[in-house]
Amino acid sequence: MAEFGATTQPRPKRVDELIDSELMAKLDQVDIMSRKIFAGKLQGERRSKKRGVSVEFADYRHYVHGDDLRFVDWNIYARLDKLFLKIFLEEEDLALLIAIDISASMDWGNPNKLVFSQKLAMSLGYIGLSNHNRVSLFAFNQAGVRPLVNLRGRRRTREMGTWLLDLAGGDRSGFNEAMRHIALSRQGKGVMVILSDFLFKESYEKGLRYLAGGGFDTFCLQVLSPEEIDPGRHGLAGDLRLTDVEDDDTAEITVSAALLRKYRENLNAYCGRLRDFCIRRDVMHVSVTTSDDIGALLLDYLRKRGLLK
């Protein structure tokens, strides 16, 4: 019997191990959905707050000095002898920011949480790229934030995959610091997806507050392994000294029904608190388990939760 929580599956070595063509075909149908409308940088496929040059008519307004004469409605001028300007809806791109927790605690579990997060990030990023969104990826831990910013277009998929494959877990999470860094990095406002287990000894509130204050449409995908959700069923037994992979902190336990019950209660309470915190700040919280099928998760579950359409 494998050791409790040890990763047995092989780590992905190639990009097509992160996302296969079948899933890619399915993901072509979906797009990232934002509950907010953000200002983009480049012209894209998304309605922007700005009035612009799309084909979709929005309104008229009086001409003022300096307006582009290309948008004057000459027909109106001919009838009324007044200059009116046609205003069109502007379509811009959407910024999709994916932050991956690569702390040591993520590199654990069977299936591995980090691998799962990599695959999920790959899929989400692919959706973003294929819909001409501006995709930025951040991998963070205590050591700092590794960015891969402003990918656009499907052809950047391989680059993104390679970057994801290079990620390796280690160190503590440094969540708050990382969030502050990302929020202030001026990578454009947009949909922010955080892939983490949110099991931080330091609190997560501060970091999430940065995101909420930064105007992101934030999705917290809490990735937990089956061992964390039901340790008793996955072979945690006996008298144990539990060692934290991040800080080598130890906890001596004797596994008992009561202890397992208490653990589950605590886990539920912890996740519940996180969810409450998120809801209050208009942040979407979604719990996912690494044993879930990524395709089903994306096409079904996340669609229902409003991240994808």
Partner 1 sequence: MSWLAVPAGLILAAVVIPPLILLYFLKLRRRTQTIASTLLWKRSVEDLRANTPFQRLRRSLLLFLQLLALVLLVLAIMQPQVQSSGRQGGKTIFLIDTSASMTATDVTDAPTRLEEAKRRARERVEALYGRGLFGGSWGETMVVSFSDRAQVACRFTDSKPQLLAAIDRIQPTHGESRIGEALTLARAYTTQLDPESNRPVGEPGTLELFSDGRIADLAEQVLRGERMVYHPIGSQEPDNVAITAISIERPYDRPAAVEVFASLANFNTTPLTVDVQLSVNDAARAIREVTIDAAGEDPVSGLIVPARRNVVFTPFEQPRAAVIEVAVLRDDDLAADSAARLVVPPPRRLKVALVGSKSFVMETVLTGIGSIQRLTLLSQQQYLAKVAEGAVDRFDVVVFDNYAPPPDQMPPGRYLCFGAPPPIEGLNAFGEGEGQLILDTRHEHPLFKFVDLDRLFISRFTLLQPDDDVQVLAEGSRGPVVVEVARGPMQVIYVTFDPLDSNWPFLRSFVTFLVNAVEYLGHAGEAISASSFTPGEALTTRLPPAAAAVELHLPDGVMERLEPIDPALLSWGPIRLTGVYFLRWSVQQTSEPQERVFAVNLLSDREGDLRPAEQIMAGEDVHVAGRGGSEYTSLWPWAIGLCLIVLMLEWWVYHRKAYI
Query: Are 284 and 305 a contacting pair, CB within 8 Å?
Result: yes
Segment contacting partner 1 by CB under 8 A, of 26-34, 51-59, 127-135, 196-204? 196-204
Contact (Cβ atoms closer than 8 angstroms) between residue 134 and residue 153: no
DSSP 48-83: EEEEEEEEEEEEEEE--TT--GGGB-HHHHHHHSS-
- Let me know the angle formed at the C-alpha of 9 by 7 and 13, rounded to the nearest 5 degrees: 115
For partner 1, the closer of residues 105 and 133 by Cβ is 105
Q: Are 91 and 52 in contact (CB under 8 A)?
A: yes
Whether 141 and 171 have beta carbons less than 8 Å apart is answered as yes
Q: How many residues bind partner 1 (CB under 8 A)?
A: 43
* Per-residue x/- track, 128-167, partner 1 (CB under 8 A): ----------------------------------------
Distance of closest approach, residue 234 Cβ to partner 1, in angstroms: 12
User: Which of 53, 168, 242, 296 lies at the binding interface for partner 1 (CB under 8 A)?
Assistant: 242
Site string for partner 1, 73-112 (x = CB under 8 A): --------------------------------xx-xx---
Q: Which is nearer to partner 1, 72 or 267 (CB)?
A: 267
Separation CA 229–CA 25 (nearest Å): 32
Piece in contact with partner 1 (CB under 8 A), picked from 79-87, 122-130, 160-168, 251-259: 251-259
Q: Does 69 bind partner 1 (CB under 8 A)?
A: no
226 by DSSP, 3-state: which? helix
* Minimum distance, C-beta of residue 198 to partner 1, in the bound complex (Å): 10
Closest CA to 106 of 246, 251, 274: 246
- Which residues inside 207-236 make contact with partner 1, applying CB under 8 A? 225, 228, 236
- As given in the structure block, the two tokens for residue 229 are 């959700």
Q: Which one among 20, 256, 272, 293 touches partner 1, defined by CB under 8 A? A: 256
Pick the closer one to partner 1 by CB: 90 or 227. Answer: 227
Task: Give the rounded distance of the alpha carbon of 218 from its chain centre.
Answer: 7
- Of the candidate spans 3-11, 29-37, 66-74, 187-195, the one that interacts with partner 1 by CB under 8 A turns out to be 3-11
> Measured from the CB of residue 109, what is the shortest distance to partner 1 in angstroms?
7
Return contacts of 240-244, CB within 8 angstroms, 24+ apart.
244/105
CA distance readout (Å), 239 to 58, 226, 254: 69, 21, 4
Cα within 13 Å of Cα(309), Cβ side? 6
The reply to whether 195 sits near partner 1 by the rule CB under 8 A is no
Q: Which of 233, 262, 273, 280 binds partner 1 (CB under 8 A)?
A: 262
Name which of 50 and 201 has its Cβ closer to partner 1.
201
Residue 266 makes contact with partner 1 by CB under 8 A? yes
**Pairing mode, strands 144-151 and 134-141:** antiparallel
Q: Which of 97, 135, 199, 298 binds partner 1 (CB under 8 A)?
A: 199
Chain residues binding partner 1 by CB under 8 A are 3-6, 105-106, 108-109, 113, 197, 199-201, 225, 228, 236-246, 249-259, 262-263, 265-267, 270
